[in-house]
C-alpha cells in the first residue's frame, strides 16, 4: 500500500521520510516569502521606503544571521509536527478531505475562517502566557531578541515556542473537516502574514488602517508595538482579542 507521495505506507522509516519532505517544503516557503519581502523593501526599494520604517534604526547582520539559524530549527520542529499530522491523515485519524463536493463550495471559506479564528484564540492566550517572566526567559525570549523585527523574524523561535505554536493545527485538523486545498492556502496565509507583520514597514494604506474593517487586522505597525512594548498587541491575525481584553497598545488609537 502506497501513500499520497507514492511511498510505502507505515514502514519503520516512513516518518523520517515525511519529516525530510516537510522540512524542505517549509524551509523553501520561509526563504521564498521572507526573501521576496526583504529584497523588495530592504534592497531594491530601500530609499523609497526608508521614511516609512517603524524603527529608528535597522537590524544588524548578526541579528539577521541568528534569525535565519533559529528559523531553520523552527522549520525542523514544524516538519516533525507536519509529518505526524500527515501520518494521522494517512491512517484516517484526521478530518482532512479531498473531494470538494463532500461539503460543498460554500464550506471552503467557512472552514478557512473557522481555522483562523481558532488559531487566533489559541495564539492570543498562549502568547500572553509566554510573556509570564519565568516562561518568557525559557520559551519566548529568542523571538524578542529581535527588538527590530525583519522579514526573517517570522520563524525565529526557540524550539519550545515552535512546538507550542505548531501543535494547534493538528488538533484542529483532527476535529474540523478541512479540504486539502484550504489547508494549503491557510499555510501560505500563515507564512506571508507572519512575514508582513514583522516587516517593520507598514504596507497597508492609511485609509485601510483607519477604516473599521482595516482595524480588525494586524499589520506591521500593530506588531511593531508588541516588539517595543512587550505587554501589548498579542494577536496573530486579528485585533479583536486585544480589544476585548484591553491589551491593545494605546498608540494604535492615536
- pLDDT tens digits, 113-138: 999 999 999 999 999 999 999 999 99
- pLDDT tens digits, 31-43: 999 999 999 999 9
Bin 6: left if φ > 0, else alpha if -120 < ψ < 50, else beta. left
pLDDT, position 145: 96
**161-165, 199-203, 232-236, 249-253: least confident range:** 249-253
pLDDT category of residue 5 using cuts at 50, 70 and 90: low
Residue 233 CA to residue 229 CA, distance in Å, equals: 9
pLDDT category of residue 14 using cuts at 50, 70 and 90: confident
pLDDT, position 17: 86
From the CB of residue 91, how many other CB atoms can be counted at a distance below 10 Å?
Answer: 11
Mean pLDDT, rounded, for 184-194: 97
pLDDT, position 15: 81
Residue 225 CA to residue 234 CA, distance in Å, equals: 10
All three cell numbers of 128, joined, read 500572553
Amino acid at each position: 500500500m502506497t501513500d499520497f507521495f507514492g511511498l510505502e505506507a507505515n514502514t519503520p522509516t516512513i516518518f523520517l521520510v515525511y519529516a525530510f519532505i516537510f522540512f524542505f517544503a517549509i524551509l523553501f516557503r520561509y526563504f521564498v516569502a521572507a526573501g521576496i519581502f526583504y529584497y523588495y523593501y530592504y534592497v531594491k526599494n530601500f530609499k523609497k521606503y526608508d521614511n516609512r520604517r517603524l524603527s529608528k534604526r535597522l537590524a544588524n547582520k548578526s541579528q539577521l544571521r541568528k534569525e535565519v539559524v533559529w528559523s531553520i530549527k523552527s522549520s525542523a520542529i514544524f516538519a516533525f509536527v507536519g509529518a505526524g499530522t500527515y501520518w494521522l491523515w494517512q491512517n484516517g485519524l484526521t478530518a482532512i478531505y479531498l473531494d470538494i463536493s463532500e461539503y460543498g463550495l460554500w464550506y471552503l471559506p467557512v472552514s478557512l475562517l473557522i481555522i483562523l479564528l481558532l488559531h487566533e484564540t489559541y495564539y492570543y492566550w498562549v502568547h500572553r502566557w509566554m510573556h509570564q517572566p519565568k516562561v518568557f526567559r525559557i520559551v519566548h525570549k529568542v523571538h524578542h531578541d529581535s527588538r527590530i523585527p525583519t522579514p526573517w523574524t517570522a520563524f525565529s523561535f526557540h524550539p519550545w515556542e515552535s512546538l507550542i505554536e505548531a501543535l494547534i493545527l493538528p488538533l484542529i485538523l483532527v476535529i474540523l473537516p478541512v479540504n486539502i486545498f484550504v489547508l494549503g492556502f491557510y499555510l501560505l496565509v500563515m507564512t506571508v502574514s507572519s512575514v508582513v507583520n514583522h516587516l517593520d514597514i507598514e504596507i497597508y494604506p492609511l485609509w485601510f488602517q483607519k477604516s473599521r474593517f482595516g482595524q480588525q487586522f494586524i499589520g506591521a505597525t500593530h506588531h511593531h508595538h508588541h516588539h517595543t512594548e512587550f505587554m501589548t498587541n498579542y494577536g496573530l491575525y486579528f485585533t479583536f482579542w486585544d480589544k476585548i481584553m484591553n491589551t491593545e497598545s494605546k498608540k494604535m488609537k492615536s
